[in-house]
Amino acid sequence: MIFGLEFPPIENLVEWPNLFGPTDSWYGFNKIALINLVALVGTSVLFLVAGRQKTLEPATNAPKGSRNLVESAVAFIRDGIITETIGPEGLRYLPFLASLFFFILITNIFEVIPFFHMPGNARMAGPAVLALLTWVYFIAVGIKHQGLKYFWNSVAPPGVPKALLPLVVPIELLSTFIVRPFSLAVRLFANMLAGHILLVTFTVLCITLWGASLLLAVLPFSFLMLVGLTGFEIMVAFLQAYIFTILASVYIGSSMHAEH
């Protein structure tokens, strides 16, 4: 009970019972797993439908409908993220980065989808897995391009005076191999969890005000705030997908060349 509001405990907002599988089992399938599955199936269906969609005119080959949407998104990732942060040689990482973008965007957008109202990334598991995979991926890219010297080049960038190495090496070690995955995961998780709690707060407020006759006059303001925040969360869902993807792209790009 907070200021007369019956606010549910935090675990009631983010923890979901298993749809199948025993409680606390490693394969228990709950609402978050369902959202992740929908992200997989939804993205696949969207791309498959777009792939089968005929172009507008055979002569111009111009896209339309779902193909237009998917091509715009792919072009955004290719030209707006990869080319800008890595360059043309980074286009080979398009599948990984496009998967990140669509997976995060769709799992985030479930925050405002009726009957779900839960962003998949408001649980730490999803962001942690994606951050760990990104971490492994950019280290693998570094080893592929620079060999084992990648680790030394990462913590001691070329051109740094030797006298500064005792200071630079621990900082770079911490920032490159520990802070990067941690910040990736926490940024996404914290933003989505905060948005989710915000929407729940205003929803609970609306419900409570509906039952309180004296405070009914405040209800429209609370409801408008809820509607505004819903729109805001749609933007946040996209923004967080973009930020995660562009940071992953920056990390991959920095692993490709020692001077980074």
Partner 1 sequence: MLASILVLANQAVNEADNLLGQAAGDAKTVKNPILPTVNEMFWAAIFFIALWALMKFVLLPRITKVMDGRTDKVRDDLAAAEAAETERVAKLEQYEAGLAGARAEAVAILEASRAEGDAERRTQIAAAEADVAAARAEAASEIADAKARARSELTGSITDIAVGAAEAVIQKPLDRAAQGRIVEDYVNAAGQN
5, 56, 68, 99: which one contacts partner 1 (CB under 8 A)? 99
Q: Tell me the residue length of the chain.
A: 260
In the 8-state DSSP scheme, what is residue 8?
P
Nearest CB to partner 1, comparing residues 33 and 252: 33
Nearest CA among 222, 241, 258, 209 for reference residue 119: 241
The answer to the question of residue 43 lying near partner 1 (CB under 8 A) is yes
The answer to the question of residue 237 lying near partner 1 (CB under 8 A) is no
The answer to the question of residue 118 lying near partner 1 (CB under 8 A) is no
Segment interacting with partner 1 (CB under 8 A) among 29-37, 229-237, 238-246, 248-256: 29-37
Sequence-ordered alpha helix ranges (H) in 53-124: 65-75, 83-85, 94-109
Strands, E assignment, the chain: none
Rounded to whole angstroms, the maximal C-alpha distance in the chain is 72
What is the C-alpha separation between 246 and 252, in angstroms, rounded? 10
Neighbour-count burial of 186, counting CB atoms closer than 10 A to its CB (0-12 exposed, 13-18 middle, 19+ buried): middle
Three-state DSSP state, 2? strand
The answer to the question of residue 139 lying near partner 1 (CB under 8 A) is no
Give the nearest distance from C-beta 249 to partner 1 in angstroms.
Answer: 15
Give the nearest distance from C-beta 236 to partner 1 in angstroms.
Answer: 19
Segment interacting with partner 1 (CB under 8 A) among 110-118, 129-137, 200-208, 249-257: 129-137
The answer to the question of residue 206 lying near partner 1 (CB under 8 A) is no
Nearest CB to partner 1, comparing residues 75 and 140: 75
What token pair was written down for 180? 């990067």
Q: Terminal CA-to-CA distance of the chain, rounded, Å?
A: 52
The answer to the question of residue 61 lying near partner 1 (CB under 8 A) is yes
Please give the residue ranges that form the binding site for partner 1 (CB under 8 A): 10-11, 13-15, 18, 21, 25-30, 32-33, 36-37, 39-40, 43-44, 47-48, 50-51, 55, 61, 63, 67, 70-71, 74-75, 94-96, 98-99, 102-103, 120, 123-126, 128-130, 133
